[in-house]
Structure 1
Amino acid sequence: MRNFTQIKKYYSFIVYQKLVVVAAVIGILTSFLALSLKHVTEYYEALFYSKAVAFNFYYFLFPFVGLTIIYVLRKNIFKNQENKGIKEIFEATQSTSKNLALYKIPSHFINGFFTVISGGATGIEVSTVVASATIGSVAQQKANFFKKYKEELICAGVAAGVTALFGSPIAGLLFSIEVISRSTNKSFWITNSISVGVASLIIVTLNEPLLFSVKIITWHYHALPYFILLGIVAGINSVYLTRSVLFIKSRFLKFTNQYHKILFTSLLLGSTLVLLPVLYGDGYHGIKEIIRYNQTHFSMSLLISILGILILKPIVTALTLASGGDGGVFAPSLVIGAFLGFFVASLCNYYFNAQVLQLNFIVIGMAAVLSSSIHAPFTALFLVCSIIGDYTLFLPLLLVCLISKFTAQYIFPYTVYSYKATTI
């Protein structure tokens, strides 16, 4: 009996030892994939955007060329399989027979890259997450030994990808729990902690910069009622984003010719970009601009511009995704949240003399809309704190993220990831 117990313990030790090794490899591969996609996309997005600003015709040409390249590659190289985003991960984790095929790594990498640099109003986050999950999925397919740890290894890839992309190991773990797995066990914590730890070590070694350079000084308790208002409005706005994506995608199914989809999207997206260039690509350049000029005085022209962004960003995001672009609602949520926070703070200061700090509302708005769009308040909280490198707003961020999430869930209980056509 004693010998059997010792053998069992030794076997468990070998199991976890192998899981540690494969999780570390996943963390390394995923980190370099995420960082390479991030930097190459940032470079070419800025380059193409500067060309479009100088010559507006490119606002129409770039989306058409980018979406056409994605379609041709998908049809001729990537097995004519449409990228479904996060839903692909759900299909793999919830099925014993389905897996994420190896070609999903270059498919999402290349398609995400071309979508964003050509002006598609989404981001590389979901492309990175699915490609990272595929690394974990492929790892568990390589040996029968790992098949029982399929979900754990896929989640390890996801967690490491988010960590590398945003420099936030806690957000990586929480995203894996709140959005992908929703349950944990010992092997989950081992694999995900190791992959996230490796990813963190890589981004520290490479000295990756913060996504947004923000210095939060303080926040005041008199702003709490306005924070609550922002949380409610953010929840409503995220539902508008979700329903826009679902509605436009369903309408685009009526197009039988893919080139008609691409042409239609290019014309609408180009027209929108001519009016509001800030919507080009992932839109992070717009967040940086509004952070830089957050003390801008309220004016009617500014009001109209921000309203245009809040109304049109969900629509152009939905058009991009419906026409074959790769991505999701991650980056759009951050962009919408930043401008929504600025908008709410400006209105409160102008009409109610609230004397709230616009910069605080920009930061909290980003977390609030992200929280309510993906129903993951703790992921949004730690992610936004990490991308600005400041935890001063932790308490109001926590409050607003929870309010926005429950507001959105009360109005519409689905996200673009969890919705199925047969659910309502």
Structure 2
Amino acid sequence: MTKSAKIKKNHSFIILKKLVIVSALIGFLSSFMGIVLKRSTEYYEDIFLERANNHLVFYLLFPFIGLSLIYFLRQYVFRKKENKGIKEVFDSTTNKTNNLPAYKIPSHFINGFLTVIFGGSTGIEISTVVAAATIGSVAQRKKNIFRKYKTELICAGVAAGITALFGSPIAGLLFAYEVISKKISNIFLLTTGIAVAIAYGLLLTINEPPLFAIHITTWHTNAIPYFILLGILAGLNAVYMTKTVLFIKGQFLKINTHFHKIILGSIILSAALLLFPQLYGEGYHSIKSIINSSNQSLVSLSLVVTLASILILKPIVSSVTLAAGGDGGVFAPSLFIGAFLGLLTALCLNHLFDSDVIVLNFMVLGMGAVLSASINAPFTALFLTLGLTNNYTLFLPILLVCFVSKYTAKMIFPHTVYSFIPKTAH
């Protein structure tokens, strides 16, 4: 081997070693941040929700307080710039000169936390994704040799953040591929693989339980036609949510004074929460509640109307939350809508057609199906749903409904809230 060849080989080894180290660091920081945000949000959301249930006036005050705090933080702490969600990550990965500034880490962390605990009807997932992506973006700027691996290091942060939130390293890796990178390379597999391994190791170390404690033992092949029906309904609901988000954001953009956006958003959100407290925050508390009572649910007209109303209102209040200045995305709303859609579908099938489908199974399938259609990432939705429940019994049914819902949605409306680019006037 010539001297120049040895130097080149050593240089490649040094770069590889540094990538391993920085990926591990990104994985730890991103997952630690995700766990802290998740636990702190759950803790304070429970306290605030209990207070609002005991004193209904807080349903009127909390949304206004939360949106106002976020606005003032942006004005006086975070450079007067609004958070644009996951599109910030897309802009950074597609443009070499467009980097995610370090203040995006505390900005999304704090604003995501405030949005949810004060009743904003969205979740912390996209806040975590952008903050974790920023950790990767900041890391790649520390050394010149990392500059050409910008996307890979951003994906490492994103994958670790998703792993921390949902307990599935495969879902983290797939989300980074299906939604962010859309291409695989050896460096991508190296950086994201190390990051999700560190994140999952941290979860095991602290013994983090799955988000939903669901005991699923079986499913029946004669329910496959009903699974397909659920997939179609999930695709329709996902399109409704996507179009609702795009429409309401467009309407709020016409309001020039931000304070007026806060007032309007607070009024709409407060009214919805008074009618249906299940819409408070990301709604995981409501999913856990119906999981525990799903098999005892008796079908009545009032129950059907309540579930249908929640399905109609959730995309509206989530959109209003985001348009009025809240931080978040469509992850949590998709899981919420999917669970309630699955519950409503199963109860109606059993009551009207004596189908004898397993209600709990349909709730889990619905979560995966709506998420798949909403973000156009069926494999991410599959493994994320499995990670949520830590149960792989429904692997094949979830895979089926995820693809049915995705292609149902794409046939009706080919865009997601991530991919849609509004037309500008010329």
TM-score class, shorter-chain normalisation, is over 0.9
CA-atom RMSD, angstroms? Answer: 1.1
Letter in 1 for 2:423: T
Distance 2:358 2:8 in 1: 60
Report the CA distance between 1:260 and its aligned residue: 1.1
Residue 157 of structure 1 aligns with which residue?
Answer: 157
Report the CA distance between 1:238 and its aligned residue: 0.3
1:168-317 counterparts in 2 under 5 A?
168-295=168-295, 296-317=297-318
Deviations 1:317-341 (A, max 9, x none): 0000000000000000000000000
TM-score by length of 1: 0.99
Residue 408 of structure 1 aligns with which residue?
Answer: 409
Report the CA distance between 1:6 and its aligned residue: 2.6
Residue 92 of structure 1 aligns with which residue?
Answer: 92
Distance 2:258 2:55 in 1: 27
Structure 1 runs not aligned, ≥5 long: none
Runs of 4+ residues over 4 Å off in structure 1: none
Residue 347 of structure 2 aligns with which residue?
Answer: 346
Distance 2:424 2:207 in 1: 45
Report the CA distance between 1:12 and its aligned residue: 1.3
Residue 137 of structure 1 aligns with which residue?
Answer: 137
1:366-381 counterparts in 2 under 5 A?
366-381=367-382
Distance 2:353 2:328 in 1: 39
Report the CA distance between 1:148 and its aligned residue: 0.5
Report the CA distance between 1:172 and its aligned residue: 0.3
Structure 2 runs not aligned, ≥5 long: none
Report the CA distance between 1:311 and its aligned residue: 0.2
Distance 1:134 1:410 in 2: 34
1:315-354 counterparts in 2 under 5 A?
315-354=316-355
Report the CA distance between 1:2 and its aligned residue: 3.1
Report the CA distance between 1:423 and its aligned residue: 9.1
Distance 1:418 1:80 in 2: 25
Report the CA distance between 1:214 and its aligned residue: 0.2
Deviations 1:291-325 (A, max 9, x none): 00111111111101100110000000000000000
Distance 2:223 2:5 in 1: 60
Residue 418 of structure 2 aligns with which residue?
Answer: 417
Distance 1:12 1:215 in 2: 48
Residue 46 of structure 2 aligns with which residue?
Answer: 46
Residue 67 of structure 1 aligns with which residue?
Answer: 67
Report the CA distance between 1:97 and its aligned residue: 0.7
Distance 2:167 2:224 in 1: 29
Distance 2:239 2:3 in 1: 59
Distance 1:5 1:423 in 2: 53
Letter in 2 for 1:322: A
Distance 1:104 1:323 in 2: 19
Deviations 1:215-273 (A, max 9, x none): 00100011000000000000000000000000000000111111111111111111111
Letter in 1 for 2:259: Y
Residue 359 of structure 1 aligns with which residue?
Answer: 360
Letter in 2 for 1:91: D
1:80 aligns with 2:80: yes
Report the CA distance between 1:76 and its aligned residue: 1.1
Distance 1:368 1:9 in 2: 47
TM-score by length of 2: 0.98
Letter in 2 for 1:165: L
Match of 1:328, SS state, is coil
Deviations 1:380-421 (A, max 9, x none): 100111110100000010000001011111111111111110
Aligned-pair identity (%): 58
Report the CA distance between 1:75 and its aligned residue: 1.0
Number of aligned residue pairs: give it. Answer: 424
1:21 aligns with 2:21: yes
Distance 1:423 1:190 in 2: 40
Deviations 1:151-175 (A, max 9, x none): 0000000000000111110000000
Letter in 2 for 1:103: Y
Distance 2:224 2:235 in 1: 17
Report the CA distance between 1:26 and its aligned residue: 0.3
Letter in 1 for 2:338: G
Match of 1:293, SS state, is helix
Letter in 2 for 1:355: D
Distance 1:37 1:15 in 2: 32
Letter in 2 for 1:300: L
Residue 111 of structure 2 aligns with which residue?
Answer: 111
Match of 1:75, SS state, is helix
Letter in 1 for 2:327: D
